[in-house]
Amino acid sequence: MHEEDILKLTYEEALKKLEEIVEKMENEEFSLDESLRHFEEGMKITRHCRKLLTEAEFKVEQILQNGELEEFIEAEEA
């Protein structure tokens, strides 16, 4: 898979692909070259997954009557 295609994967797709690669590497015989290629691909996918898990931060926005979004701040307890 090309780098750009990996970056387009959703988390589910990426994880499925990763599982496939790991299982293939564990159960089939590959030449060293192919093994290295699979390894590299697998590592690229884990990097992508990690990024999906960490890149966004927690944010709560409220939809206003006019449809605009505004950051939602929870009311403090009295």
Binding site for other proteins (CB under 8 A): 10-12, 15, 18-19, 21-22, 25-26, 30, 32, 35-36, 39, 42-43, 46, 49-50, 52-63, 67, 69, 72, 74-75
Beta carbon of residue 41, minimum distance to other proteins (angstroms, whole number) = 9
> How far is Cα 40 from Cα 25, in angstroms, rounded to an integer?
12
- Asked if residue 21 lies in contact with residue 38, where contact means CB atoms within 8 angstroms, the answer is yes
Q: Judge residue 14's burial from the number of C-beta atoms within 10 Å of its C-beta, 0-12 exposed, 13-18 middle, 19 or more buried.
A: buried
Beta carbon of residue 17, minimum distance to other proteins (angstroms, whole number) = 11
Residue with tokens 């692909």: 17
Beta carbon of residue 2, minimum distance to other proteins (angstroms, whole number) = 19
